[in-house]
């Protein structure tokens, strides 16, 4: 598929907007669509995404990239599914006006346009490590800063915990699920000889029987049984199934949850030795554990940089990582991304972002890093609850 720019949108005689009655036109022009069409849509840089397509001009041209990016922004603005977004574009002239597609004979979108585009973005990210959509959103934010005449000299930075949507699992559940997933993966290949005495993992009721219906047995005993099965399975399979994600997760969970005795037997490792980076749910292998402000969090962390002044504020930078990624690391990465500033800017953040290295790095880049002395944590139970007599200044 060849990359073709959609720089000019020529208006035709049968343009849908031009053929509306004056009353309907007025409603469209007084809606969000006008500002979107005049401010947001022209700011989209199609050339950034040319690397996703072929340079062979003889191949079929791509769907307009700026229309796709604009559509994805509208999807988030109105909290739509892909199907709802497509229906809105096909049936609502405001969406067409916003995306400059009112003169298209048929809208340049299909039920797979958005999923295919996201797939291209994802594969390119895996290959290069570049998140093109991330880059585009941050570039557009800077365009809006200029449009709204917001002074870019002051920025606020903070992080938020993003919970994983996966179920919270016990150690027993994690190990059982990894073994069961591996057994099912092997079964699908037809190599049944490798599943001696493990066919019970294929039974849908086996999970409940093992985890919930045998509560009269010690958890340590059930845990050891599953570890033994996992160990046998890994030895039987060898490296033949190494490429399967189920195999890699099984190896990972054994490394994280077990230790080897002097006799060479795998046994459960003590809870205190399990890393926060360990597997918490096989359906979300990247989610990690972190305790922040006294709360347990499993999932990820987002870092937001907001440019602010009296006229308003806009999020101009953002990052996303496993939640064991520290605020101090985010601070360093943000400063490096911003680079050397022609005019001095100030970044305000809480104490967790502070370090001597970050302060020195900021100074080298003409950035004034101001952090509070406060780091979010649970207040001391005794010190935070006492009452002070305002007259005598004595503890009541």
Domains of the chain, with CATH numbers? Answer: 22-142 (no CATH), 150-163+300-371 (3.30.420.10), 171-273 (no CATH)
Residue 241, both tokens: 């199934």
pLDDT at residue 17, rounded to an integer: 93
pLDDT at residue 37, rounded to an integer: 95
Give which of 179, 33, 181, 195 is closest to 102, Cα–Cα: 33
pLDDT at residue 383, rounded to an integer: 60
Of residues 265 and 9, more confidence is placed in: 265
What does the pLDDT average to over 159-181?
A: 84
List CB contacts of 77: < 8 A, sequence separation 6 or more. 32
pLDDT at residue 38, rounded to an integer: 94
What does the pLDDT average to over 180-193?
A: 84
Three-state DSSP state, 366? coil
Task: Please give the C-alpha separations between residue 2 and each of 45, 113, 121, 126, in angstroms, as whole numbers.
Answer: 17, 15, 16, 21
Residue 62, both tokens: 């791509």
Taking CA 325 as the corner, what is the angle to CA 323 and CA 328, rounded to the nearest 5 degrees?
130
List CB contacts of 248: < 8 A, sequence separation 6 or more. 242
Question: Which class for 167: exposed (0-12), middle (13-18), buried (19 or more C-beta within 10 A)?
Answer: exposed
pLDDT-based confidence at residue 296 (cuts at 50, 70, 90): low
**pLDDT tens-place string over residues 336-382:** 999 999 999 999 999 889 999 999 999 999 999 999 865 555 556 66
Task: Please determine, for residue 326, whether its predicted confidence score (pLDDT) is greater than 80.
Answer: yes
Q: What is the mean pLDDT of the chain?
A: 87
Beta partners for residue 301, in sequence order: 161, 321
Give which of 22, 118, 126, 23 is closest to 63, Cα–Cα: 118
**pLDDT tens-place string over residues 113-145:** 999 999 999 999 989 999 999 999 999 999 899
**pLDDT tens-place string over residues 38-73:** 999 999 999 999 999 988 877 888 899 999 999 999
Give which of 106, 117, 114 is closest to 3, Cα–Cα: 117
| Beta strand pairing call for 295-309 and 288-292 | antiparallel
List CB contacts of 292: < 8 A, sequence separation 6 or more. 161, 323, 376
pLDDT-based confidence at residue 384 (cuts at 50, 70, 90): low
Of residues 151 and 58, more confidence is placed in: 151
């Amino acid at each position: 598929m060849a990359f073709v720019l959609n720089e000019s949108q020529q208006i035709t005689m049968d343009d849908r907007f031009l053929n509306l009655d004056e009353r309907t036109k007025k409603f469209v022009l007084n809606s969000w669509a006008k500002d979107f069409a005049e401010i947001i849509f022209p700011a989209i840089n199609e050339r950034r995404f040319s690397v996703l397509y072929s340079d062979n001009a003889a191949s079929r041209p791509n769907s307009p990239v700026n229309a796709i990016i604009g559509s994805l922004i509208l999807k988030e603005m109105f909290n739509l599914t892909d199907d709802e977004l497509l229906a809105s574009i096909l049936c609502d002239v405001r969406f067409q006006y916003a995306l400059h597609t009112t003169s298209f004979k048929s809208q340049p979108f299909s039920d797979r346009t958005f999923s295919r585009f996201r797939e291209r973005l994802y594969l390119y990210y895996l290959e290069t490590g570049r998140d093109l959509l991330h880059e585009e959103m941050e570039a557009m934010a800077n365009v809006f800063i200029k449009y709204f005449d917001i002074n870019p000299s002051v920025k606020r930075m903070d992080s938020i915990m993003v919970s994983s949507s996966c179920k919270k699992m016990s150690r027993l559940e994690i190990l059982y699920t990894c073994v069961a997933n591996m057994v099912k993966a092997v079964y699908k290949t037809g190599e049944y000889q490798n599943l001696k005495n493990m066919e019970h993992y294929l039974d849908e009721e086996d999970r409940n029987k093992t985890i919930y219906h045998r509560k009269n047995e010690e958890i340590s005993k059930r845990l050891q049984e599953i570890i033994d099965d996992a160990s046998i399975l890994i030895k039987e399979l060898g490296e033949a199934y190494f490429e399967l994600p189920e195999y890699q997760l099984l190896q990972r969970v054994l490394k994280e949850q077990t230790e080897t005795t002097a006799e060479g037997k795998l046994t459960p490792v003590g809870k205190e030795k399990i890393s926060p980076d360990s597997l918490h749910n096989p359906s979300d292998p990247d989610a990690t554990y972190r305790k922040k402000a006294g709360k347990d969090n499993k999932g990820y962390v987002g870092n937001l940089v907001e440019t602010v002044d009296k006229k308003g504020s806009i999020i101009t930078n953002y990052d996303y990582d496993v939640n064991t990624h520290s605020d101090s690391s985010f601070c360093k990465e943000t400063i490096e991304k911003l680079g050397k500033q022609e005019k001095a800017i100030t970044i305000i953040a809480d104490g967790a972002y502070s370090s001597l290295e970050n302060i020195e790095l900021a100074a080298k880049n003409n950035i004034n890093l101001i952090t509070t002395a406060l780091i979010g944590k649970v207040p001391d139970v005794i010190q935070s609850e006492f009452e002070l007599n305002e007259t005598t200044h004595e503890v009541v």
